[in-house]
Amino acid sequence: MSRLHHVLAVDPVRQFVDTEGMTPYDSLVEATLAEGVMPCVVPQLRSITVGGAVAGIGIESSSFRYGLVHETVRELDVLLADSTVLTCTPDNEHRDLFFGFPNSYGTLGYALRVRADTVPVQPYVTLTHHPFTSGRSFFTALGRFCDAQVDFVEGVVFDRGSLYVTTASFVDTVPFESDYRFEHIYYRSIRERERDHLSIGDYLWRWDTDWFWCSRNLWADKPLVRRLLGRERLNSRFYQKVMRWNSRWGVARRLERLAGRYRESVIQDVVIPLQHAPEFLEFLVREIGIAPIWVCPVRHRNAQHRFPLFRLDPDKIYLNFGFWDVVHTRRMHVTGHFNRLVEEAVARHEGTKSLYSDSYYTRDAFWQQYDEQAYRALKARYDPESRFGDLYDKCVRAARARH
Ligand SMILES: Cc1cc2nc3c(=O)[nH]c(=O)nc-3n(C[C@H](O)[C@H](O)[C@H](O)COP(=O)(O)OP(=O)(O)OC[C@H]3O[C@@H](n4cnc5c(N)ncnc54)[C@H](O)[C@@H]3O)c2cc1C
């Protein structure tokens, strides 16, 4: 699969791109921007592949208009376990697989080719950062901006009393152009300036340089460390390598134990209906305590399209809450204590959780969230011998076994 990383065709007139499943988004963006277009939704990390984003869940600040990555897909070539390759579209005989593929994480088949929608771009993006001092006013504004004449909407919660909505729009010319790829840090700029201007390329990768704010865990927010690392290492690919090395050798965990502390990684993206967002934020601040939190609105693009493994109500606006950090405690908790609290709160607030990270659901609770009946029917039709394994076993049991 790793060789399937080529962009096959960009058609700016019919507004689609055809690309192989393992194409990382930075290659895809480079090829599409050269033709004056971009994929409708570009996940924030350069290394995420198109196939991975469709088999999992991908979201960005254009999702209030275009939905999740999989809602921008027109056609998929899927490799089944018996080596058959099927072309799936929303209206051919394999539409069940087309709609069942998102959030199946490779347990139904592998995406070899993806045809996805593109939109025309302009060379620059002008950003406006709107400050708020309460969750209620912040969420009301996020909902309102989803109907505004802007191209991108997202939010960041720095703490209970410091919340920002950022709206952004395409423009042809700008008075100046900021650079957050080396000495300056994008997330800090949100609180420092009301207006900002970036090239479209820099806008799409604004979060990658510092992996949102997670680079600070490697001290990469310090000027000296930034200079030592240099521009070429300030990106999510480099940080992921370091984090993988750390989790393999358990370095941070051992150091914390020596200091008499316990740690649990809470790395989650969850979507919550807008109307429950204020209470969910209160829960996060009170019980989990991770900040900042990335908040991104998402709406179903096509009310007729239903994705059984990631069900959203087409009449609702949802907010993706992304929170990625370590919770430190003096007291020992059962494994996954804080992640379990998040899972319970997501269910309580009628939300859904992405499965890329650690999950602790019981089998019953898991299949209440994700449509078991539809999944079983897909498995029976497309992977009857279950050679690709089961979604629960892959996303929950495997994660538990790691700890
Ligand atoms: C550290 C981290 C940060 C993230 N940050 C963001 C973010 O900023 N924005 C965002 O939108 N999403 C984010 N995500 C979610 C991400 O989009 C999904 O997890 C996605 O599935 C990752 O794709 P990948 O190409 O990196 O695949 P991998 O992580 O390599 O694989 C993820 C899963 O998808 C399966 N898979 C991979 N390729 C295919 C394919 N071609 N066909 C079928 N199945 C396949 C794999 O078997 C695996 O189960 C993040 C995930 C992680 C782990």
| CATH code (residue 56) | 3.30.465.10
Ligand 1 contact via 293 beta carbon (within 6 Å):
no
Ligand 1 contact via 106 beta carbon (within 6 Å):
yes
Ligand 1 atom nearest residue 211's Cα: 8
Ligand 1 contact via 204 beta carbon (within 6 Å):
no
- Any idea which residue has 């969230």 for tokens? 369
Neighbours of 59 (CB within 10 A): 25
Q: How far is the CA of 63 from the centre of ligand 1 (A)?
A: 17
Rg over alpha carbons for the chain, rounded to the nearest Å, is: 21
Nearest CA-CA partner of 323 in 363, 280, 362, 365:
280
Distance CA 261, CA 49 (A): 36
Q: Under DSSP, is residue 328 helix (H, G, I), strand (E, B) or coil?
A: strand
Q: What percent of the chain has pLDDT over 70?
A: 96
pLDDT 10s digits, 183-232: 999 999 999 999 999 999 999 999 999 999 998 988 889 999 999 998 99
pLDDT at residue 162, as a whole number: 97
Does 25 map to a domain? yes
Does 112 map to a domain? yes
pLDDT at 398 over 90: no
pLDDT 10s digits, 72-109: 999 999 999 999 999 999 999 999 999 999 999 999 99
Q: How far is the CA of 52 from the centre of ligand 1 (A)?
A: 4
pLDDT at residue 218, as a whole number: 84
pLDDT at residue 241, as a whole number: 87
pLDDT at residue 400, as a whole number: 64
pLDDT at residue 189, as a whole number: 97
pLDDT 10s digits, 122-173: 999 999 999 999 999 999 999 999 999 999 999 999 999 999 999 999 999 9
Q: In this structure, what token pair is assigned to residue 53?
A: 């984003």
Q: How far is the CA of 43 from the centre of ligand 1 (A)?
A: 10
pTM above 0.75, yes or no: yes
Distance CA 210, CA 185 (A): 7
Q: Rounded mean pLDDT of the chain?
A: 94
- Tell me the backbone φ, ψ of residue 112, rounded to 5 degrees: -90, -35
Q: In this structure, what token pair is assigned to residue 360?
A: 């602790």
Ligand 1 contact via 105 beta carbon (within 6 Å):
yes
pLDDT at residue 262, as a whole number: 82
Residue type present at position 196: D
> What's the 3-state SS for 161-204?
CEEEEEEEEEECCCCCCCCCCCCCCHHHHHHHCCEEEEEHHHHH
Residue nearest to atom 12 of ligand 1 (CA): 58
Does 101 map to a domain? yes
Mean pLDDT confidence for 318-325 = 96
- 397 vs 362, which has greater pLDDT? 362
Domain holding 37, by residue range, is 7-120
- Tell me the backbone φ, ψ of residue 117, rounded to 5 degrees: -70, 145
Does 33 map to a domain? yes
Ligand 1 contact via 292 beta carbon (within 6 Å):
no
Distance CA 186, CA 191 (A): 10
Does 246 map to a domain? no
Instruction: Name the DSSP letter for residue 371.
Output: T
- Any idea which residue has 């989803």 for tokens? 146
Q: How far is the CA of 103 from the centre of ligand 1 (A)?
A: 10
Does 146 map to a domain? no
pLDDT at residue 74, as a whole number: 97
pLDDT at residue 401, as a whole number: 64
Q: How far is the CA of 19 from the centre of ligand 1 (A)?
A: 16
Buried b (16+ CB within 10 A) or exposed e, 182-205: eeebbbebbeeeeebbbbbbbbbb
pLDDT at residue 399, as a whole number: 65
Distance CA 383, CA 86 (A): 13
Mean pLDDT confidence for 366-378 = 95
Pocket test of ligand 1: the residue of 45, 235, 239 to mutate, having most ligand atoms within 8 Å of its CB, is 45
Q: How far is the CA of 395 from the centre of ligand 1 (A)?
A: 12
Ligand 1 contact via 356 beta carbon (within 6 Å):
yes
Residue nearest to atom 30 of ligand 1 (CA): 52
Cα 294 to chain centroid distance, Å, stands at: 10
Residue type present at position 290: I
Number of domains observed in the structure of the chain = 1
Residue nearest to atom 23 of ligand 1 (CA): 52
Ligand 1 contact via 21 beta carbon (within 6 Å):
yes
Q: Strands 37-39 and 110-120, how do they pair?
A: antiparallel
Nearest CA-CA partner of 82 in 107, 55, 100, 109:
109
Element (H, E) at 269: strand 262-273
- Tell me the backbone φ, ψ of residue 104, rounded to 5 degrees: -90, -10
pLDDT at residue 247, as a whole number: 72
pLDDT at 402 over 80: no
Q: How far is the CA of 49 from the centre of ligand 1 (A)?
A: 7
Q: How far is the CA of 399 from the centre of ligand 1 (A)?
A: 15
Ligand 1 contact via 150 beta carbon (within 6 Å):
no
Residue nearest to atom 48 of ligand 1 (CA): 105
pLDDT at residue 330, as a whole number: 84
Does 42 map to a domain? yes
Does 79 map to a domain? yes
CB 298 within 8 A of CB 319: yes
CB 284 within 8 A of CB 321: yes
pLDDT at 374 over 80: yes
Ligand 1 atom nearest residue 106's Cα: 44
pLDDT at 276 over 70: yes
- By mean pLDDT, which of 222-236, 277-291, 311-325 is the weakest? 222-236
pLDDT 10s digits, 233-262: 899 888 888 888 777 767 666 766 777 778
- 303 vs 86, which has greater pLDDT? 86
Ligand 1 contact via 24 beta carbon (within 6 Å):
no
Ligand 1 atom nearest residue 44's Cα: 8
Q: What are residue 153's DSSP bridge partners?
A: 167
Mean pLDDT confidence for 58-84 = 97
